[in-house]
Amino acid sequence: MLAVYKKELRSYLTSMIGYVFIAFILLILGIYFTAYNLQYASPDFGTTLSAVIFLFLIITPILTMRILSEEKKNKTDQLLLTAPVPVWKIVMGKYLSMLTIYLIPILITGCYPLIMGKYGTVSYATVYIAVFGFFLLGCAQIAVGLFLSSVTESQIIAAVITFAALFCSYVMDGISSFFSSTSAASFVTFLVISVLIALMVYQMTKDMVLSSILGVVLIAINIVLYIVRSSLYEGLIQKFLDLLSIANHYDSFVGGILDVSGIIYMLSVICIFVFLTIQCIQKRRWS
Amino acid sequence: MIEVRNLVKKYGDHVAVDHLNFTVEKGKIYGFLGPNGAGKSTTMNMITGYIGSTEGDILIDGHNILEEPEEAKKKIGYLPELPPLYQDMTAKEYLEFAAELKGIPREKREGNINGVMSTTKIQNVKNRLIKNLSKGYKQRVGLAQALLGYPEIIILDEPTVGLDPKQIIEIRDLIKSLGKNHTVILSSHILSEVSAVCDYVLIIDKGKLVASDSPENLSRIMSGANSLEMTVKGKEGEIRKALDLVENIEDVVYHNSIVPGACDFTIKISGQMDMRENIFFALAEAKCPILKMQSSNMSLEEVFLKLTDERKPAVRLTENDIFEDGIKEEGEE
């Protein structure tokens, strides 16, 4: 794991990508910091951070696009996968190297509140919780990028789909307002989703019996739940879509709340996507 | 050392490797031979654990590659078809990375890296970026990587591709010397290479094992009778008359010779008798000087073509032509 970690870190720091990534975060954050906190003299650094979360749409793909796709394209994954190292260590080494690069601008950002503190009163606890939340938010999005880089061989495609996925997540609030929040609408949507899940399982396993049983069970659960407690379905689409909006879970950190549910959410996103990445690489070794 | 049982690999409907069975013993050099797309690389990728098999087992020293991958992979050094090199590293950095990845203890790493660099003769380019190296040097860096830690089994997929003739000979000598202490498996479609280096040949066609034996045995078994190539000065009729007196000659085939006033013959001899002396005296009596006499067993390339193309004579012609060109070049080094 350490070998992969060191190698990736060096490759970021000997190529342009690492520096572009760090410089871009510092540039945008610096502009907002100057405008909000220095010019406007607001002591609230959390708001500044939450104003720049659009940043991740651009910088995450820059950081993650080549991490696994390039290995596959250049066939260097043959070296990694035939070495006596388990896949999870390779993936973790790569993920941690990206987090380390991401940590550099975060640490520099950590000095900003100290500058503010020289000229006024700043609640350091509030500010640093916001910075911590910002860091977690970045980690979660990098995990998404890591996974999407593992599904393709082309860096460009990896970058584009990472951007698209993060953009959808970013505007999820707007998307969820398209849907009606009545329980009937949610019910129909979840029926459709059940059928889609069954179809997906059929695509993957080609097992007609298994997928149709799964579909029928899912639909039956939905119908029973709807009959027994239809109030459960009210606004369920919105709740469901809210789960996909990663940035929404950053909101409570902004106000200086060390939000446990937020932390757990971010950690789960990280775990799920790192796990999916490992499975995606291992899949080809088993099929 | 390596046991391959009933190995199958399917890509959709296409069967790349079809129920392959073989065992590889310690301390020998094995050659995988087969036309393009025969499943050589796929088999090697499965042995090294890069891709999984659809069916069947691979045991490396008793460890199943899919169940105990780390144990099994420790024993293998692998040079894939395309050397897995990171273009923006120097050769030395790359080997350091590979050594750490393979879990070679820190104190042994330096010596080990220097060792493989001197065996593959890349000392003089160790501080250059890999992307600036020539194809031959890239291949050697890849080979150095496979040798790191001196694993018991070394698997090389077309190790001499892209090298110049001098380097090819060097690499072959290197492989031969490796064969003393390691088990080496190499794949190639260059037949002279396999017959020069390997103790044992496995011929694969369309994912199936069609023959496995030592190169000498294969050509002996396949040729049946031994034959002689001759160039003799004189008239065809006189020579034939002289040869009629010699025993054990099955067939005499006449060819036009490039030497003026001489004839070329291919003479098939029944059994394993050496009839060269008898032929010499017979022709000497007829005053027909022998300009050239050479015994020819069926060469490995003929065995190979016969085995891999028996079912498809149409393909054979084209492949034959291609191979023949390649072989002539090879043979001249």
Question: Is B173 exposed, middle or buried, given 0-12, 13-18 or 19+ CB atoms closer than 10 A?
Answer: exposed
Cα–Cα distances (Å) from A27 to A2, A47, A281, in that order, read 31, 17, 35
Specify the pLDDT at position B276: 81
Question: What's the gap in Å between the CA of B103 and the closest CA on chain A?
Answer: 8
- The residue of chain A with its CA nearest to that of B86 is A76
- The residue of chain B with its CA nearest to that of A284 is B51
Closest CB from B70, B76, B84 relative to A79 = B84
Q: Which residues of A touch B55 (CB under 8 A)?
A: none
Closest CB from B45, B52, B97 relative to A7 = B97
Do B86 and A7 lie within an 8 Å CB cutoff?
yes
- Tell me how far the alpha carbon of residue B307 is from its chain's centroid: 15
Closest CB from A2, A6, A82 relative to B49 = A82
How many helices (H) does chain B have, and how many strands (E)? 12, 14
Domain that holds residue B233: 226-296
* ipTM entry: 0.85
Higher pLDDT, A220 or B331: A220
Specify the pLDDT at position A286: 66
Do A77 and B84 lie within an 8 Å CB cutoff?
yes
| Residue B27 sits at the chain A interface (C-beta within 8 Å) | no
Do B86 and A84 lie within an 8 Å CB cutoff?
no
Do A82 and B50 lie within an 8 Å CB cutoff?
yes
B113 in the same domain as B262? no
Closest CB from A11, A76, A84 relative to B70 = A84
Specify the pLDDT at position B319: 42
CATH number of the domain at B16, please: 3.40.50.300
* pLDDT at B331 exceeding the cut of 60: no
Q: Which of A5, A70, A78, A206 is the mutation pick for testing B, counting most B CBs within 10 A?
A: A78
* pLDDT at B53 exceeding the cut of 90: no
B213 in the same domain as B266? no
Specify the pLDDT at position A258: 86
Looking at B187, B220, B253, the residue that finishes a domain is: B220
B243 in the same domain as B94? no
User: Which string of DSSP letters, residue by residue, matches B144-183?
Assistant: HHHHTT--SEEEEESTTTT--HHHHHHHHHHHHHHHHHSE
Residue in A109, A123, A136 with CA at minimum distance from that of residue A256: A123
Question: What's the gap in Å between the CA of A214 and the closest CA on chain B?
Answer: 25
B201 in the same domain as B178? yes
How many helices (H) does chain A have, and how many strands (E)? 16, 0
* Per-residue DSSP letter, B90: B
* pLDDT at B272 exceeding the cut of 50: yes
Which of A111-120, A158-167, B130-139, B245-254 has the weakest average pLDDT? B245-254
pLDDT-based confidence at B330, cuts 50/70/90? very low
B99 in the same domain as B46? yes
B197 in the same domain as B290? no
The answer to whether residues B141 and B113 touch, using CB atoms and an 8 Å cutoff, is: no
Q: Which residues of A200-212 are buried (b: 16+ CB within 10 A; e: fewer)?
A: ebbeeeeeeeebe
- What lies within 8 Å, CB to CB, of A127 at 6+ separation is A45, A46, A113, A256
Do B80 and A78 lie within an 8 Å CB cutoff?
yes
Q: How far, in Å, CA of B145 to CA of B122, rounded?
A: 12
pLDDT-based confidence at B177, cuts 50/70/90? confident
B151 in the same domain as B207? yes
Residue in B28, B26, B42, B2 with CA at minimum distance from that of residue B208: B42
pLDDT-based confidence at B227, cuts 50/70/90? confident
Do A84 and B66 lie within an 8 Å CB cutoff?
no
User: Side by side, which strands form the sheet with B29-33?
Assistant: B76-79, B153-157, B183-188, B29-33, B200-205, B208-213
| Residue B131 sits at the chain A interface (C-beta within 8 Å) | no
Chain A window 44-63: which residues touch B at a Cβ cutoff of 8 Å?
none
* pLDDT at B289 exceeding the cut of 80: yes
* pLDDT at B318 exceeding the cut of 50: no
B174 in the same domain as B284? no
Q: Which residues of B touch A3 (CB under 8 A)?
A: 97, 100-101
Specify the pLDDT at position B325: 44
B320 in the same domain as B269? no
The answer to whether residues B154 and B146 touch, using CB atoms and an 8 Å cutoff, is: yes
Closest CB from B48, B52, B88 relative to A286 = B52
* Arithmetic mean of pLDDT, B303-310: 68
Specify the pLDDT at position B160: 83
What residues in chain A have per-residue pLDDT under 70? 286-287
B254 in the same domain as B146? no
According to DSSP, the residues that pair with B20 across neighbouring strands are B7
Q: For tokens 């651009």, name the residue.
A: A58
* pLDDT at B167 exceeding the cut of 90: no
Structure tokens at B139: 């291949």
Q: How far, in Å, CA of B71 to CA of B149, rounded?
A: 14
* Arithmetic mean of pLDDT, B95-122: 91
Cβ neighbours of A60 (radius 10 Å): 27
Main-chain dihedrals φ then ψ at residue A83, nearest 5 degrees: -80, 155
B70 in the same domain as B181? yes
Residue in B241, B236, B240, B246 with CA at minimum distance from that of residue B280: B246
Structural domains of chain B, count: 3
Residue in B230, B216, B226 with CA at minimum distance from that of residue B248: B226
Which of A181-185, A207-211, B220-224, B248-252 has the weakest average pLDDT? B220-224
- The residue of chain B with its CA nearest to that of A8 is B97
Do B100 and A85 lie within an 8 Å CB cutoff?
no
Q: Which residues of B touch A82 (CB under 8 A)?
A: 48-50, 73, 76, 78, 80
Residue B7 carries which side chain, given as an amino acid letter?
A: L
Q: How far, in Å, CA of B157 to CA of B198, rounded?
A: 14
Closest CB from A78, A85, A287 relative to B101 = A85
Do A3 and B100 lie within an 8 Å CB cutoff?
yes
B32 in the same domain as B94? yes
